[in-house]
Structure 1
Amino acid sequence: MKIKLQSSILVKPAEPTPNQSLPLSELDMVSGNYFVPLIYIYKPSKDRSYTSIFDTFQMSLRKVLVPFYPLAGRLSFAGGGGNLQIDCNGKGVELTEAIADSAWDEVKETDYADLIPAVDAAADFPELPLLAVRITAFNGGGICLGVRMWHPAADGLSGSHFYAEWARIARGETLESHPFIDRKLYSAPAAAAPPPPPEFEKPPILIGDSGCEKEMKIPISKAFLRLSKPQIETLKKSANEKRGSCRGGFSRFESITAHIWRCTCKARGHKPHQKTRLTTSVDIRRRVDPPLPRTYFGNAVVDVAAVDCAGDLTSKPLSYAAGRIREAVSKVTPDYINTTVNFLKSVVGSSSAVDDSLVFTGNPNLTVTSWLSLELNGLDFGWGKEAYMAHVSENCDGDFVVMPDDEHNDDDDDEEKNRHRSVVVAVCLQEAHMEHFKKIFYQDIIQV
């Protein structure tokens, strides 16, 4: 598929917005200096021209940037050399227009990267938009909405809140809920700098290696693997058959993540005594005291890690890996969150956060992120919901994202039914391991 860029403009808020500086929190600054890329593919509209659709995107974007005004700002250092902050100056969001020579239903997974806007994360702060949008018109009708949002500006829940309200305004409706912009809404009680939580200790490395530098340079492969409803139920049944003293059944996410962990160990060919770390993110909005509003706009997640030997993970029942994941998540209490934030205060500097070697997710480690509870799917801007949505995986070994499967789920708004929908697992692994991983990912489900 070939893409031809047509135009690029800056879309500014439709009304004056607060002119202020918004300091980034410690949780913002350790979320990763990258842009989260998504695409939404829409079928041809019977009653809307492309020009009408593009104008709707542009005008509704201007309106939604009024309540979500930090996204129209730019970055700077507080006081010229302190911590990072967002200057809420209304400079705007980058909107590009493009044309594709392929039809909407001819788009392949290898084309996804061409449908998202290009953003240079290393650009000078005053010129770097925090949100970039690309509208691509397909041959014969249909469009793609491609977006990139800077992660330190918003976590998954904040991002999904923005996209849902943008679609609502595009449909001519009023804002359902305003974002809580104040990043000072949560602040850990002051305390002496604690020792690093396990999540910020050096992760395991391959047996015989002295560091992770070699693994960082190995070529990466990407894939999207689908799990049907029956396959998910099979995994849940297997995880819950021998759960021992674990109270309550293992969830869909725990079961899928345990399966991913085991398959990754097998695909990478780990020795039985190889240590491996699985990291996942936990939303803290309801776990702090007092709780944060669900519409808190920023990063309100902490990472937790489970470490174990590959031999135990692959030889013991699926419930063993699921139990190790639950143990890690159960640590996220108000005290744990305060300890984590106070540790971050002691290490987050003016230009960097945590050493890359401390958060390395590659071989023998991995990170699994759940988007199952985010309202990222079903965005209707006025011409129907998307045909499908996808996360455009970046080149990061051991990075997995679990998300609802648009293409293979019924168009049903029933919340109870949606809890049992099929899912897509976006996978990033070293090229040498990908084919083996894909084989055992499905083979092991049959065997359980």
Structure 2
Amino acid sequence: MVNLIASHIVKPAKPIPTKVMFLSECDQRKPITHANSVHFYKPESPELLKDATEVLKDSLSEALVEFYPLAGRLYQKDGSRVELQCNSMGALLFEAQSELKIEDFGDFCPTPQIRALIPPIDYNNTPLHEVPLLLVQITRLACGGVSLGVAASHIIVDGQSWFHFFPEWAKIARGEKSDDKPFLDRTIFRQYEHDHPSATAPKSQYSDFFPLPVLIGQSSSLEERKKSTNCAMLKLSKDQIEQIKNKANYQDLMIHKTNNQRPFSRFVAVSAHIWKCLSKARMHNPDQETVLYVSVDFRNRLKPPLPGRYFGNAVLPVPARAIVGDLQSRPLSYASSKIKEAIENVTDEYARSYLVCMKNIPEVSSNRYFHTVGCPQGLFLGNPNLLVTSWVGLGLYKAHFGWGNEIFMTPGSNVICVVSWG
């Protein structure tokens, strides 16, 4: 279906600082896997793709000068923590070709066909320090188009950081100057990772560290982890989203007005709707406890805020908890209020205390969070729990490499639940 033709190690075009780079506790909690996505292009003329591989190689080499952490490698430390060695080992670029056309990928749901467009990574048989932190695969398709599959270490970047790098790389590929430089000094987190008078959030807030609810009748989630997962891409129209938002806000309309509160956002309302529907589809016992995690970017919630274009992880998973019977019997505003409250909990004090708490955990492997079954360690976010994250606002369609704009972008695997709308 997809044939790999060649691979290339791409190193920074100029000498970069050789050093061990500090990783924050927020970085350390990320899984030692890669976040991935696939971008599809169909240029007006095949000639635009004639030198596509060379353009990608040269521009990536230039981009890695400023974004040099992506050219390094991770090394294991005590307590399952890792360290980042900026050693210019480079990114890995694959060339591939396929007899498939863009139209053959249907609704672009992360199927085995889509996953074949992602650079292959053998986590089981490759030492950690030999795994590139950035992998790219350009696949030439039969329709004259191409796909660009990318995989970036979750420990090195979050969504904001990745979608800062990706368009800047594309800008260089178009022959333009990249002038939006990243802020790379992660030691800035040290000023937040200590206890101080303002870090007063009680430890009871940290329910995300406590054992997550398991299915009634089970003592652990081990059996659930063994099950295979299915993926579906559900498309909601603008009108459908507005209906869900209005439904969530209708019951609490007078409360919002009386207390001068902001109505539930689209993200909160749709997430609440998913939470209710999923617990119903899973046929949970009414007494079953369930947790919905929301990924919250806290760059601007810290005081002082992190510098603009901070390059690293600054996302905190916060839990909303409920009993299934309450989710099902109460209006959508109930689930929405739980989620909104969880998000609003992320203040400067909460984020600082979270970092302190993480720093005091001697073994982090059990606190790394994962989103799929089949994960032998870490917090299990499968049945009866889930994690919802939004890619809205990340600038998903700004990677123009000189072949025209993307016609579609999709997650490369079903490791996350993405809430998005047009």
Partner of 2:315: 301
Partner of 1:232: 241
Alpha-carbon distance between aligned partners in 1 of 2:269 and 2:81, rounded to the nearest angstrom: 39
- Three-state SS of the structure 2 residue aligned to 1:115 is coil
**Alignment-mate amino acid for residue 191 of structure 1:** D
**Identical positions, percent:** 41
Partner of 1:191: 195
Asked if structure 2 preserves the Cα contact closer than 8 Å seen for 1:202 and 1:358, the reply is no
Asked if structure 2 preserves the Cα contact closer than 8 Å seen for 1:99 and 1:138, the reply is yes
How far the C-alpha of 1:319 sits from its partner, in A, is: 1.2
Partner of 2:282: 268
How far the C-alpha of 1:211 sits from its partner, in A, is: 1.0
- Three-state SS of the structure 1 residue aligned to 2:299 is coil
Q: 1:189 to 1:95 in 2, by over 3 A?
A: closer
Partner of 1:70: 69
Partner of 1:219: 228
Partner of 1:37: 36
Q: 1:386 to 1:76 in 2, by over 3 A?
A: same
Alpha-carbon distance between aligned partners in 1 of 2:38 and 2:20, rounded to the nearest angstrom: 30
Partner of 1:114: 116
Instruction: Confirm or deny that 1:173 pairs with 2:179.
Output: no
Superposed CA deviations along residues 260-293 of structure 1, whole A, max 9, x for unmatched, are 1011011000122211000011111100111012
How far the C-alpha of 1:403 sits from its partner, in A, is: 3.1
Q: 1:19 to 1:357 in 2, by over 3 A?
A: closer
How far the C-alpha of 1:57 sits from its partner, in A, is: 1.3
Q: 1:101 to 1:151 in 2, by over 3 A?
A: same
Alpha-carbon distance between aligned partners in 1 of 2:367 and 2:333, rounded to the nearest angstrom: 35
Partner of 2:209: 200
Which structure 2 residues correspond to residues 85-124 of structure 1 after superposition, within 5 A? Answer: 85-108=83-106, 109=109, 110=111, 111-122=113-124, 123-124=126-127
Partner of 2:136: 133
Partner of 2:147: 144
Instruction: Confirm or deny that 1:403 pairs with 2:403.
Output: no
- Three-state SS of the structure 1 residue aligned to 2:343 is helix
Alpha-carbon distance between aligned partners in 1 of 2:153 and 2:298, rounded to the nearest angstrom: 20
Q: 1:345 to 1:11 in 2, by over 3 A?
A: same
Partner of 1:256: 270
**Worse overlay, 8-17 or 369-378:** 369-378
Alpha-carbon distance between aligned partners in 2 of 1:306 and 1:333, rounded to the nearest angstrom: 16
Superposed CA deviations along residues 84-108 of structure 1, whole A, max 9, x for unmatched, are 2111111110000001011222224
Instruction: Confirm or deny that 1:393 pairs with 2:417.
Output: no
Alpha-carbon distance between aligned partners in 2 of 1:316 and 1:89, rounded to the nearest angstrom: 55
Asked if structure 2 preserves the Cα contact closer than 8 Å seen for 1:23 and 1:84, the reply is no
Q: 4+ runs of 1 displaced by more than 6 Å?
A: 355-358
Alpha-carbon distance between aligned partners in 1 of 2:130 and 2:270, rounded to the nearest angstrom: 41
Alpha-carbon distance between aligned partners in 1 of 2:391 and 2:418, rounded to the nearest angstrom: 7
**Alignment-mate amino acid for residue 207 of structure 2:** P
Instruction: Confirm or deny that 1:322 pairs with 2:342.
Output: no
Superposed CA deviations along residues 167-225 of structure 1, whole A, max 9, x for unmatched, are 11111111131111111112225239984711111111111111111111122111111
Q: 359, 364, 369: which is aligned to 2:379? A: 359
Asked if structure 2 preserves the Cα contact closer than 8 Å seen for 1:74 and 1:91, the reply is yes
Gaps of 5+ in 1: 405-420, 422-448
**Alignment-mate amino acid for residue 103 of structure 1:** K
How far the C-alpha of 1:126 sits from its partner, in A, is: 2.6
Alpha-carbon distance between aligned partners in 1 of 2:185 and 2:57, rounded to the nearest angstrom: 27
Gaps of 5+ in 2: 370-375
Q: How many residues align?
A: 400
Partner of 1:331: 345
Asked if structure 1 preserves the Cα contact closer than 8 Å seen for 2:366 and 2:378, the reply is no
**Alignment-mate amino acid for residue 152 of structure 1:** I
**Worse overlay, 279-288 or 82-91:** 82-91
Superposed CA deviations along residues 32-57 of structure 1, whole A, max 9, x for unmatched, are 22111100011144163433222221
Partner of 2:373: none
- Three-state SS of the structure 1 residue aligned to 2:272 is helix
**Worse overlay, 52-61 or 194-203:** 194-203
- Three-state SS of the structure 2 residue aligned to 1:178 is coil
Q: 1:142 to 1:348 in 2, by over 3 A?
A: farther
**Alignment-mate amino acid for residue 117 of structure 1:** P
Partner of 1:437: none
Alpha-carbon distance between aligned partners in 2 of 1:391 and 1:201, rounded to the nearest angstrom: 29
Partner of 1:409: none
**Alignment-mate amino acid for residue 213 of structure 1:** L
How far the C-alpha of 1:31 sits from its partner, in A, is: 1.7
State the TM-score, normalized to the length of structure 2: 0.90
- Three-state SS of the structure 1 residue aligned to 2:50 is helix
Asked if structure 2 preserves the Cα contact closer than 8 Å seen for 1:348 and 1:354, the reply is no
Asked if structure 2 preserves the Cα contact closer than 8 Å seen for 1:74 and 1:126, the reply is yes
State the TM-score, normalized to the length of structure 1: 0.85
Asked if structure 2 preserves the Cα contact closer than 8 Å seen for 1:283 and 1:301, the reply is yes
Q: CA RMSD in A?
A: 2.1
